[in-house]
């Protein structure tokens, strides 16, 4: 093996989950809903991003909060992956999310528990570890657990920026609003709905780029990628706006599109590609995720094929 200094990626999962998915002919109230084809995966934003980076042929570090017997199960599920894990012990158990695909309607029912209550004392070692990390990219994705202050991502972003690292954020609600108001991030990836909630107003598609660019110019982030689901995505930087339509793919399950998009972008950036190329690669990863059924994220061959196909079209 060649010894060279690799760009390091650190993924943060403060509210991880075990994702259980299954199928049922019909989901009914009162009566038992018999399910089949149960599958389980390690999940939650930061863990999904780490898994996609591995799928794309990379590796990363992963820091996550882990408690209870479900935490032990989660750790065992992650063990086979080529990821450097650092777990932070909490008292409450890791949550178990449950999704049922109703085959008669092709609808998906997703039950996502709020998860553990985390104390500030339990969270404190995470700040120390992130401050001590020399990762080039620190990717935080997902909701904050209960008990954790809304400015947690702001603090983490500041720690990373202070030493010249690049902080990437994908979250929603108050933690996103705080980060967009008060921090110095490299990249933030709200969905259109999340960005509108932050701004407090609806945006027509042609208003998204200028609004995101205006926000970039406040200094909150170097780049804002607003994803529009089946309508594609818009990347705003200080000096350019790139709009990409969605790649036309058979839609199976949108689960994991956002996480795959983020992982694709970060993986491409870590390989030294320019932000515009990374954006196109993220777009391919997001589209690849919708091609796969259920909670499966994306496949490397799909991502690479879609990226190449779009590149040849000159989009
Ligand atoms: N139907 C689709 N067809 C093609 N590409 C899609 C489709 N849905 C999503 N994508 C791709 O995935 C990216 C992210 O999707 P989306 O905007 O739905 O993320 P999200 O709302 O953060 O999703 P999540 O529920 O995973 O958080 C889109 O910008 C697009 O590139
Ligand atoms: Mg999302």
Domain locations along the chain: 1-135
Identify the residue whose tokens are 């932050």.
198
Alpha helices in the chain (DSSP H): 45-55, 68-78, 120-132, 152-162, 173-182, 192-199, 205-216, 257-270, 275-291, 300-313
Please work out whether the CB of residue 248 comes within 6 Å of at least one atom of ligand 1.
no
Q: Which atom of ligand 1 is nearest to the CA of 282?
A: 31
Rounded to an integer, what distance in angstroms lies between the CA atom of residue 256 and that of residue 135?
24
CATH number of this structure's domain 1-135, picked from the four choices 3.40.1190.20, 1.10.1740.110, 3.40.50.80, 3.40.50.720: 3.40.1190.20
Residue 28 CB partners (closer than 8 Å, separation 6+): none
Please work out whether the CB of residue 310 comes within 6 Å of at least one atom of ligand 1.
no
Pairing relation of β-strands 221-227 and 233-237? antiparallel
CB 284 within 8 A of CB 310: yes
CB 112 within 8 A of CB 140: no
Single out the residue of 242, 10, 235, 243 nearest to residue 141, CA to CA.
Answer: 10
Rounded to an integer, what distance in angstroms lies between the CA atom of residue 257 and that of residue 29?
30
206 a catalytic residue: no
Please work out whether the CB of residue 247 comes within 6 Å of at least one atom of ligand 1.
yes
| Residue 204: both structure tokens together | 């027509």
Reported as a single tens digit per residue, the pLDDT across 119-166 is: 999 999 999 999 999 999 999 999 999 999 999 999 999 999 999 999
Reported as a single tens digit per residue, the pLDDT across 70-98 is: 999 999 999 999 999 999 999 999 999 99
pTM of the model: 0.95
| Percent of the chain with pLDDT strictly greater than 70 | 97
Full DSSP string of 252-281? S--TTHHHHHHHHHHHHHHTT--HHHHHHH
Please work out whether the CB of residue 140 comes within 6 Å of at least one atom of ligand 1.
no
Strand, coil or helix: 53: helix
Confidence of residue 1 (pLDDT cuts 50, 70, 90): very low
Please work out whether the CB of residue 261 comes within 6 Å of at least one atom of ligand 1.
yes
Reported as a single tens digit per residue, the pLDDT across 269-313 is: 999 999 999 999 999 999 999 998 777 789 999 999 999 999 998
Determine the residue of 97, 234, 245, 286 to mutate for testing ligand 1's pocket, defined as the one with the most ligand atoms within 8 A of the Cβ atom.
286
Is the Cα torsion angle 36, 110, 282, 94 positive or negative in sign?
negative
* Centre of ligand 2 from the C-alpha of residue 174, in Å: 14
Identify the residue whose tokens are 């490397």.
300
CB 7 within 8 A of CB 137: yes
Reported as a single tens digit per residue, the pLDDT across 19-55 is: 999 999 999 999 999 999 999 999 999 999 999 999 9
Residue 255 CB partners (closer than 8 Å, separation 6+): 99, 108, 110, 289, 294, 295
Reported as a single tens digit per residue, the pLDDT across 232-256 is: 999 999 999 999 999 999 988 777 8
Instruction: Say which of 259, 277, 302, 305 is annotated catalytic.
Output: 259
Q: Which helix (H) or strand (E) holds 64?
A: strand 60-66
Report the pLDDT value the prediction gives residue 255, as an integer from 0 to 100. 79
CB 184 within 8 A of CB 161: yes
């Amino acid at each position: 093996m060649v010894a060279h200094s690799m760009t390091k990626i650190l993924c943060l999962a403060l509210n991880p989950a075990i994702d259980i998915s299954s199928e049922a002919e019909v989901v009914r109230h009162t009566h038992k809903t018999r399910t089949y084809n149960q599958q389980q995966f390690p999940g939650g934003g930061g863990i999904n991003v780490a898994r996609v980076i591995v799928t794309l042929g990379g590796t990363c570090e992963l820091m996550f909060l882990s408690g209870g017997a479900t935490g032990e199960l989660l750790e065992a599920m992650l063990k086979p992956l080529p990821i450097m894990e650092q777990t932070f012990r909490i008292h409450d158990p890791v949550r178990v999310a449950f999704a049922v695909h109703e085959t008669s309607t092709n609808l998906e029912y997703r039950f996502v528990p709020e998860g553990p209550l985390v104390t500030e004392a339990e969270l404190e070692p995470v700040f120390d570890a992130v401050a001590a990390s020399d990762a080039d990219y620190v990717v935080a994705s997902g909701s904050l657990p209960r008990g954790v202050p809304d400015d947690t991502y702001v603090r983490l972003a500041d720690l990373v920026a202070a030493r010249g690292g690049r902080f990437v954020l994908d979250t929603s609600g108050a933690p996103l609003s705080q980060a967009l108001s008060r921090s110095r991030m490299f990249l933030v990836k709200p969905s259109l709905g999340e960005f509108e909630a932050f701004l407090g107003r609806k945006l027509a598609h042609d208003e998204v780029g200028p609004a995101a660019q205006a926000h970039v110019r406040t200094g909150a982030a170097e780049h804002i990628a607003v994803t529009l689901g089946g309508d594609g995505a818009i990347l705003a930087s200080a000096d350019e706006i790139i709009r990409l339509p969605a790649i036309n793919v058979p839609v199976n399950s949108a689960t994991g599109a956002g996480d795959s998009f983020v992982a694709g972008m970060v993986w491409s950036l870590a390989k030294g590609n320019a932000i515009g190329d990374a954006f196109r690669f993220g777009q391919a990863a997001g589209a690849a995720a919708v091609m796969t059924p259920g909670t499966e994220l994306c496949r490397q061959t799909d991502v690479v094929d879609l990226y190449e196909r779009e590149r040849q079209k000159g989009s």
